[in-house]
Structure 1
Amino acid sequence: MIEKLYLLLLFCASTTSFLPQHTTSIAERSAASRRTPAFAVPDSAGFTFDPFGGVSEPPPPDKLPPGLSRFLTQRAVQQQLYYYDLNMDETHSNWLCEFLRPENCSALHVDYHGINALPTKDTSSYLCAILIYPEIEVTIKKPMGCAAGLGRGGTGMGDYNRNSNPYLKPRYFEYTELIRPVAVATSLLEIREQIAAELAEDLAFLVEEDCNEVLDSGEAGTTFSTGPNGETVSKGGGRSSPFRLANYDLLKLLATKEALLRLTEPSSSSSSSSVLRSITSTFMPMINGHNKWAHGGGLPSLADNILGELLSDKSGSNTAARRLLEERNRLARLWQEQMLPTLQQEQTDFKRWHLSCSFSVVADDADTQSGEELSPDE
């Protein structure tokens, strides 16, 4: 069933901040004055999307570690948003960046540089919800002529504003677009696999970081230049993904976070554990938020700053820093070995689940149709 969603797209010449802030003036629905969540599709019947309310079986669980699986999905979504921006496709971009986002939370932005922005607790809940989302027919209404200004999609010439002339009335043109969530999810799965293949290759940079060399130099900040070249050609051939270097920087931060969480478990009572707990409480808000991205040079990354803070403590040995480096390298080796085969199995499970749900829906529709064709006497 195709649900109709009516949008009024208003374009302005001013640019918005690259921080992931939602701007309600970008897209307003002409049918209602208040914002409707992206997972609720309004129509005459008041249709509301319940992700897994009508499925016969729950979606399969993630097979990768939760933090790693969510990170790969988040970066795949951001890369897809980047492609939408290149094609000036605001319809799909607005729908995807707000999909399943909680109330009063910012939409996922293409330039968000962090590791914890996926709006669900796991990948399965997010991707499987997109896979079973109904198709949406969207009617786009755009201002035309001078009223459109110079914003994206505008057809006006110059900076003349029709609103300043009372004799010129606003004029609009309309067209429809079809959003096919299954196609969006398929693209996300492909991008996710591409990012995982690159990171499995690039984790060698993190594994090769010599623990003793870093500790002897006492300069964690020098490691910021270590990483893949953005133009590196992958083993399978072809150009790298557009955010390859940024993905590696964030993966390094994710490995640092996971290492800190493992080393600061309540069961650990060593003297270095108290130092690591203090570092964790100080940096965790920054780890889970948006961070500045120096595009591969000029500034140490947040992961380097955390290590640098440990190395700057002159009160004792570098036991805490050594433990963090060793645990992070252990995780990097484990992810390098298991990422690709585990991810492929994970994505196969998602596709099988969607296929099973599709067969179930077809069977239910057939039973309903056959029941309607039978007369009461039969």
Structure 2
Amino acid sequence: MGKLLAVALVGIAAALVAERLLAFRNRLNASREVAPVTLPNCRLVKGIEAGSEDIDILPNGLAFISSGLKYPGLKSFAPDKPGEIFLMDLNENNPRAVALRISRGFDLASFNPHGISTYIDKDDTVYLFVVNHPQHKSTVELFKFMEDDNSLLHLKTIRHDLLTSVNDIVAMGPDSFYATNDHYFTDFILITLEMFLGLTWSNVVYYSPKGVKEVAAGFYSANGINTSPDRKYIYVADVFDHNVHVMEKHANWSLTHVKTLQLDTLVDNLYIDPQTGDIWTGCHPNGMKLFFDDPDNPPASEVLRIQDVLGEQPVVTRIYADDGSVLQGSSVAAVYEGKLLVGTIFHKALYCEL
């Protein structure tokens, strides 16, 4: 009887592990391969060789690009080089990326930039919010963009117990923002265990000097976040649940769920076209390839445009897809007047004229 019970328990345990393993592979889209979708007028951006994880574009066509992210479990082409913020003027005929100088006093040696967001106040002052992971910790750095000499003036470092492992950010004022926490940044083993067990510990936090609070929870891995042009809705990408959540914003900054758009890809950062309200996003068709580095089988890239996201039938279009031979691990796609920038976690950046 004892042996039969032991065998039964072993069988149950094996079945549970097999189920979790299958769910883990599905969450990473391990079996999906991407069919190419090419664009005719594209080139790699010179000077960006170690990632372009997030991109935000001002109304005047100046694009900010975060570069050099070191993320546990993922490769880095410049592991000993500090991160940078690049600037591109998309009004130029042949725009180039220029690394912005950051003011003295800021710890450049440990700069590890992740998600970024801009805010323009009534005096046309441009603020740049940057998620930073110095020593793999989590802070938000606030900069003022000095357009006269293309530099960044560091204003302050923001820390809070609720900002445990910030992934992305959307600025709502000169000193307030929504941020996604992906729960674990510092430990690849814990990240993997969290995904394997299917734990929904990730959340969204609202921060302002007057108060900080959790405003949404229950995500597998809350990643990209952005706001509709009228700032009435917040969009949240759950990268490991392959979807985008639409959340209504209220006067007290709380969020309520409106709808979820399910997609067959790992959705990363979200960019909102200010003219149309369309969501543009860089995606990972097969997330398994991100974590298992194989030069002969690199991670693919995919760009989606989501139109009429608030309507009854949103339209999802694959704008670009590559098997990794040109661009590896796309994390963001941003548009400005017929021009497209596609960024990556650790690879290069792509500039296209649509």
- Considering the TM-score relative to the shorter chain, is it more than 0.5? no
Question: Greater helix share, 1 or 2?
Answer: 1
* TM-score normalized by the length of structure 2: 0.23
Q: Between Structure 1 and Structure 2, which shows a larger proportion of strand residues? A: 2
Higher relative contact order (CA 8 A, sep 6+): 1
TM-score by length of 1: 0.22
